[in-house]
Chains A and B, each alone.
Chain A
Amino acid sequence: MPASFVPSATDYLRFLPEIIMIAIGTLIMLLEPLLGGNKKNSLSGLTVLGFIAALVAAVMANGMPGTSFSNMLIVDGFATFFRVLVIGVGILTVLSSAQYLKREHAASAEYYALLLFSVTGQCVMATANELIMIFIGLEISSIATYILAGYLRDDKRNNEAALKYFLLGSFATAFLLYGIAWIYGTTGTTNLMDIRAYLMTPGVHRNLLAGTAAALMFVGFAFKVSAAPFQVWAPDVYQGAPAPVTLFMSAGPKAAAFAVFLRVFMTAFEPISPRWEPFVWSSALLTMVIGNFAALSQTNIKRLLAYSSIAHAGYVMVAIASHSQIGVAAAMFYLAAYALMNIGAFAVITHFSRQGEKFLEVEDLAGLGWKQPVTAALFCIFLLSLIGVPLTGGFFGKFYIFKAALDANLIWLSVLGLLNSAVAAYYYLRIIVVMYMHEPGESTVTLQPLGAGITATLWAAALGTLILGIFPSLILNFATSSSVLAK
């Protein structure tokens, strides 16, 4: 056995966040039978601790960048950015879930363990430097998320959501795997840098084969990020899944999927970019238009935000279409801002929906602004950020994306995208209108005060949104410096 096959200590250190989360997840599964019914709450504390340890490990791993396990994983600024992001999403999800699970009498260890596993998968995706690792990471993340989507197993909608997500998701993953097979057949390797080197070799004319492989993988990724025309699952699944799980799905797995999307298309497939750029371009436009126009007529708030999250995926696709280093940095910034504002919005819904998710219509929010001014004001910040009003993270995200697009001379895509964001203002404003300009109804009057976990989530997300909106350099500088992907 060659010496390089034996992993070194640094290899493990670079992989430490994943190891911690897997260990804690397994520990939680083991602990459950030993704990009495009333002690299960402490599991959420343990999960948060696990996430925080993983976060620290991820930040420390950034101090020793490089590849590990025979080039299968890579730790660079880009990977660290997404690791920190998905682990952060994990923490906020746990914080906003505790109250919900108690309310639905569904607190159990599986929930937390699955969350840890899912985030582990996403971290693997962020660090993967090789198509098989990408696939494994994607599957770890997805399978855990499929189960989470159907977590309340007696609930019909949960079952529907989980089944739809699972069937369509497996189908899309099959496309991805088929694409990987093609690329292996064409280039004889699954390592991203080797694929790139192969496609760059002068005299190699396998463009058509590689292009087909890229197209197949595009289908897989587009499904995972809910980009058109592979977005149809998202509204049903987002609406059907438990509210905190929707919160998680719309931020974590999406960010990780974009991370691999960016890494694969900006490194391995960069040499054949003229082939895929038109697809990304048209998919971006279609995603924005479908998301925004479908959201206009929604009355269910979860469904509305599902379509809004499709539209936001479209904006990130614009950044990918611009195919530049600034584009990558813009996409990274946007995903961070988007995760914060979307988590905030879904946390409000988690809190508001009450037992059995009774109150999910936009109209139910009537008068929230006067019944719980703080909750409503924070929700307002998230909605204004989703619209893209200055001094919020959402604005700078859009700004950087469309700047990258204009730099790349995608003038019409930018103009259409910006007009789309004006359309989007309408449906977000409708929520603000209902909160502040309608008289409180039964749904608002019976509202309980915020729980501690949700309060923490809301404030953290709101502060993050405002900080990204007023001092964007803090994140942007890191994103810019780490947007140079190893090639």
Chain B
Amino acid sequence: MTLLDVVIFLPLVAFLVILFFPKGSVEGIRRFSLIASTAIFILSLGLIGPYWFNAPGRWTFVTDLPWISSPAIRYHVALDGISLWLVILATLLTPICVLVSWKHIDKRVKEFFAFLLLLEFGLVGVFCALDFFLFYVFWEVSLVPMYFLIGIWGHDRRIYSAVKFFLYTMAGSVLMLAAIIYLYTQSGNTFDYVRILAGLQNGSIPLDSGAQLLLFLAFFVAFAIKVPLFPLHTWLPDAHVEAPTAGSVMLASVMLKMGTYGLIRFCVPMFPEAARRCSGWIITLAIVGIIYGALVAMVQPNMKKLVAYSSVSHLGFVVLGIFTFTQQGFDGAVYQMLNHGVSTGALFILVGFLYERNHSLEIASYGGVATPAPKLSIVFMITMLASIGLPMLNNFIGEFLVLQGAALVNIKLSVFAAIGVILSACYMLWLYQRVFFGRASDEVSRHMPDLNMREYAIIVPLIALMVWMGTFTQSFIPPISASNAVLLGPIDTGRHVQNNTPSVDLRAARAKELSNAR
């Protein structure tokens, strides 16, 4: 049993322990959840160990045990540089969400914290599973608690949003299940990702290009719904607006990454040809998403909806980075996943703070908040600037890498994508102006105490992380790059081979020339 197994299963243990708490001991449940999730976070920091001085591109913390004999399903989990940070992101945000929900959740407290820990179990598992079947199990396990978090503790239209969220994801994931079973039968009865990937790369699993395309699309749709990629994003604003703060944070910061993680881990490396064939369309959709998300965010009267649409825009960058098939694009995409997790998570938390004070998500019911609550305004400003992509803060690095990767393919892509960055400055600054500046109405100043100790404990670590990730990039990037290089390696050779064929992808060829020229 490795440390990773402990980190995966402790949330489940904590979930079960909470079930045995008496209903009345609300304070006890809160404390236990906080202690348990903080302990899991501290343990998960130990996972950085092998990555501390050097950055191995190989798997670490491997556990590979048989689970079900026929069909051969194994409990196979391991970490690489990509999953490492995503696991830590999930374990970091869980205690933060416990703190966020401390006062905010006063009904059905026991069930809330139980579901939150069950969600953590699913999320941590999904990023480590290397058996397709296990991956699917964790994928669905994370779906159920989120459905309840939105449906029970959400706002007015919570039921509609929860069901929509569940059905969208379910529709995508059954297609993925069909593709997984098909791969199983084609690969000589294994669900093992490492073996299937090797088989696909060395040609021992025969797939004609039509089958490859269909399999790629089946996986892609499942992941694209989760990301969400334009035009499959319509569940997202509903789910975000209606979810309680902790639900929004976990959804935006971690759950959406399940989609982009799936793209980078499974879709692109396994079916590089099909990915290349579709990349034109997908990049177009990603850029449309970047600009569309930003434009729609601009006109939202509701703060949470604004942040939700900004997520659509930001995740367009991630997808764009992945489908450039370049080292920079991949690195930027993974880094941007983490950045978005930290800064959008923080934005949702801050919007939650405002909501707890004034019980409104409408921008119009605020104004002049900076006067009664200057400290809140400052942390909001830092977070907002990080989200815009100000240098020295985290998002800048990710966006820069993605734009660089896109430029290697085609400079026009970066130009269009950069419009998204400019628009993000527009909607965020305008939001800030309307909420924090101007004259505070009596209503606002009466209900607007400044940050308290609990809120500091929540937001300060995230702000520190934003600065750290924006300045000391080297603490995070090397493991990511090493793993991305492993994933990209065979795809690059695929490109060389393809260059000799008549059906050459012009943009890819161009990218190669450019990288050679450098």
Query: Which A residues are within 8 Å of any B CB, using their own CB?
Result: 370, 384, 387, 389-391, 395, 399, 402-403, 406-407, 411, 414-415, 418-419, 421-422, 425-426, 429-430, 433, 436-437, 471-473, 476-477, 480
| Residue from A407, A411, A430, A437 having most chain B Cβ neighbours under 10 A | A437
Q: Which of the residues B70, B137, B170 comes within 8 Å of A425, measured between beta carbons?
A: B170
* Shortest Cβ distance from residue A342 to the other chain B in the assembled complex, whole angstroms: 20
- B68 cross-chain contacts in A, Cβ below 8 A: 471-473, 476
Q: 9 smallest A-B Cβ distances: which pairs?
A: A418-B174, A390-B137, A422-B171, A422-B170, A390-B140, A403-B181, A425-B170, A422-B174, A437-B151
* Contact, CB under 8 Å: B166 / A425: yes
Beyond the given pairs A390-B140, A418-B178, A426-B167, 10 more chain A to chain B contacts, judged by CB atoms under 8 angstroms and listed by A's residue number, are: A387-B170, A391-B137, A402-B178, A414-B181, A425-B166, A429-B166, A433-B159, A437-B151, A472-B68, A473-B68
Among B70, B108, B170, B182: residue with most chain A CB under 10 A: B170
A391 & B141 in contact (Cβ 8 Å cutoff): yes
Alpha-carbon separation in the docked complex, A414 to B179 (Å): 10
Q: A480 to B70, alpha carbons, bound, how many Å?
A: 9
A476 to B151, CA, bound (A): 35
CB B151 to nearest CB in A, in angstroms, measures 5
Cα A344 to Cα B143 in complex, Å, equals 23
Residue of B144, B148, B158 near A389 (CB, 8 A) is B144
- Using known A-B contacts A403-B185, A406-B181, determine if residue A477 contacts B174 with beta carbons closer than 8 Å: no
Chain B 129-162: CB-based contact to A (< 8 A → 1; otherwise 0): 0000000110011011001100110000011001
Q: Which residue of A lies closest to B138 (CB)?
A: A390
Specify which chain B residues have a CB less than 8 angstroms from the CB of A433 in the assembled complex.
151, 159, 162-163
Contact of A419 among B152, B159, B174 (CB under 8 A): B174
Do A407 and B185 contact each other (CB < 8 Å), given the known contacts A390-B141, A422-B167?
A: yes
Q: How far is the CB of B109 from chain A (nearest CB, A)?
A: 13
**B452 at the A interface (CB under 8 A):** no
Contact B70 A473 (CB under 8 A): yes
User: What are 20 pairs between A and B in contact, CB < 8 Å?
Assistant: A384-B144, A387-B170, A389-B140, A390-B136, A390-B140, A403-B181, A406-B178, A406-B181, A406-B182, A415-B175, A418-B174, A422-B167, A422-B174, A425-B166, A425-B167, A429-B167, A436-B152, A437-B151, A437-B162, A480-B70
Which A residues are CB-close (under 8 A) to B166? 425, 429
Q: Is B203 an interface residue (CB 8 A)?
A: no
Cα–Cα distance between A406 and B163 once the two chains are bound (Å): 29
Give complex CA distance A480, B177 in Å: 22
What is the CB-to-nearest-CB distance from B493 to chain A, in angstroms, rounded to a whole number? 31
Bound: A399/B147 CA distance, A: 23
Assuming the contacts A429-B163, A433-B163, asked whether A406 and B185 have C-beta atoms less than 8 A apart, the reply is yes
- Chain A residues lying within 8 Å of B152, measured Cβ to Cβ, are 436-437
Given A406-B185, A425-B170, A436-B151, A418:B144 Cβ within 8 A: no
Residue among B108, B136, B144, B174 facing the most chain A CB atoms (10 A cut-off): B174
Interface size for B (C-beta < 8 A) is 31
Do A473 and B178 touch across chains, with their CB atoms under 8 A apart? no
Please report whether the interface of chain A is mostly helix, strand, loop or mixed according to DSSP: helix
Do A402 and B144 contact each other (CB < 8 Å), given the known contacts A422-B167, A429-B163, A437-B151?
no
Q: CA of A473 to CA of B73 in the docked complex: distance in angstroms?
A: 10
The answer to whether the Cβ of B71 comes within 8 Å of any Cβ in the partner chain is yes
B232 to chain A, nearest CB (A): 14
In angstroms, how far is the closest chain A Cβ from the Cβ of B465? 33
Contact status A419-B140, CB under 8 Å: no
B106 to chain A, nearest CB (A): 14
Nearest A residue to B148 via CB reads: A436
* Bound Cα distance A418, B177 (Å): 8
Q: Given A391-B137, A391-B141, A477-B69, is A426 in contact with B163 using a C-beta cutoff of 8 Å? A: yes
Is there contact, CB below 8 Å, between A437 and B158? yes
Nearest CB of chain A from residue B205's CB, rounded to whole Å: 15
Rounded to whole Å, the gap between the CB of B168 and the closest CB of chain A is: 9
The reply on B184 being an interface residue by CB < 8 A is yes
Closest residue to B136 on the A side, CB-wise? A390
List residues of chain B with CB within 8 A of the CB of A429. Answer: 147, 163, 166-167
For A418, the chain B residues whose CB sits under 8 A away are: 174-175, 177-178
User: Across the two chains, which residue of chain A brings its CB closest to B218?
Assistant: A415
In angstroms, Cα B72 to Cα A472, docked, is 12
Chain A residues within 8 Å of B162, by CB: 433, 437
Residue of B nearest to A438 (CB): B159
Cα A437 to Cα B185 with chains together (Å): 41
Distance in angstroms between the alpha carbons of A422 and B167 in the assembled complex: 7
Contact residues in B for A387 (Cβ distance below 8 Å): 170
* CB of A482 to closest CB in B, whole Å: 14
Least Cβ distance of B82 to chain A in Å?
Answer: 24
CA distance A284 to B19 in the complex (A): 41
Residue of B whose beta carbon sits closest to that of A329: B70
Most B CB contacts (10 A, CB to CB) among A395, A406, A471 go to A406
Residue of A nearest to B174 (CB): A418
Min CB–CB distance A325 → chain B (angstroms) = 12
- On chain A, the residues within 8 Å of B167 by CB distance are 422, 425-426, 429
By a CB distance below 8 angstroms, the chain A residues around B182 are 406, 411
Produce 1/0 per residue, B241-267, CB < 8 A to A.
Answer: 000000000000000000000000000
A347 to B241, CA, bound (A): 37
**A476 with B141, Cβ < 8 A, contacts A370-B108, A407-B185, A421-B174 known:** no
Q: How far is the CA of A422 from the CA of B182 in the complex (A)?
A: 19
Could you tell me the distance between the alpha carbons of A479 and B236 in the complex, rounded to whole angstroms? 43
Q: What's the minimum C-beta distance from A78 to chain B, rounded to whole angstroms? A: 18
Contact A414 B70 (CB under 8 A): no
Taken together as a complex, chains A and B put the C-alpha atoms of A430 and B108 apart, in Å, by: 20
Provide the bound-state CA to CA distance between A471 and B70, in Å: 11
CA distance A65 to B108 in the complex (A): 55
Q: Return the chain A residue nearest B214 by Cβ.
A: A411
A402 touches B148 (CB 8 A): no
A399 near B185 with CB under 8 A, answer no
CA gap between A399 and B73 in the complex, in Å:
12
Q: Residue of B at shortest CB range from A387?
A: B170
- Which of chain B's residues have a CB closer than 8 A to the CB of A415? 175, 178
Residues on the A chain within 8 Å of B159, using CB: 433, 437
B155 nearest CB across to chain A (Å): 12
Q: Closest approach, in angstroms, between the C-beta of A424 and any C-beta of chain B?
A: 9
Report the minimum CB–CB distance from B296 to chain A (whole Å): 27
Complex CA gap A480/B141 in Å reads: 28
Chain A residues near B177 (CB, 8 Å)? 399, 402, 418
| Cα(A477)–Cα(B158), bound, Å | 43
A150 to B372, CA, bound (A): 72
Chain B nearest CB, measured from A201 CB (Å): 34
What CA separation (Å) do A389 and B171 show in the bound complex? 13
Closest chain-A Cβ to B77's Cβ sits at a distance in Å of 16
B171 A419 Cβ-Cβ under 8 A: yes
Which residues on the B side are within 8 Å of A395 (C-beta)? Answer: 140
Tell me how far the C-beta of B138 lies from the nearest C-beta in chain A, rounded to whole angstroms: 8
Nearest residue, chain A, Cβ from B23: A373
Q: Are A477 and B170 in contact (CB under 8 A)?
A: no
Chain B CB within 10 Å, residue with most, of A389, A390, A403? A390
The complex places the Cα of A337 from the Cα of B412 at a distance, in Å, of: 55
| Chain B residue with the shortest CB-CB distance to A389 | B140
User: In the bound complex, what is the Cα–Cα distance between A387 and B143 (angstroms)?
Assistant: 13
Residues of A within 8 A of B143 (CB): 389
Give complex CA distance A399, B159 in Å.
29
A411 CA / B210 CA spacing, docked (Å)? 14
Which residue of chain A is the closest to B176 with respect to CB atoms?
A418
Nearest chain A CB to B392's CB is how many angstroms away? 44
**Cβ-closest chain B residue relative to A469:** B137
Measured CA separation A369–B182 after assembly (Å): 39
Residues of A contacting B147 in the complex (Cβ-Cβ under 8 angstroms)? 429
**Closest beta carbon of chain B to A85's beta carbon, Å:** 20
C-alpha spacing A473/B70, complex, angstroms? 7
**What are the residues of chain B within 8 A of A472 when measuring CB–CB?**
68
Pair A414/B170 contact, Cβ less than 8 Å: no
Chain A residues whose C-beta falls within 8 Å of the C-beta of B140 in the assembled complex: 389-390, 395
Q: Which residues of A contact B184 (CB under 8 A)?
A: 403
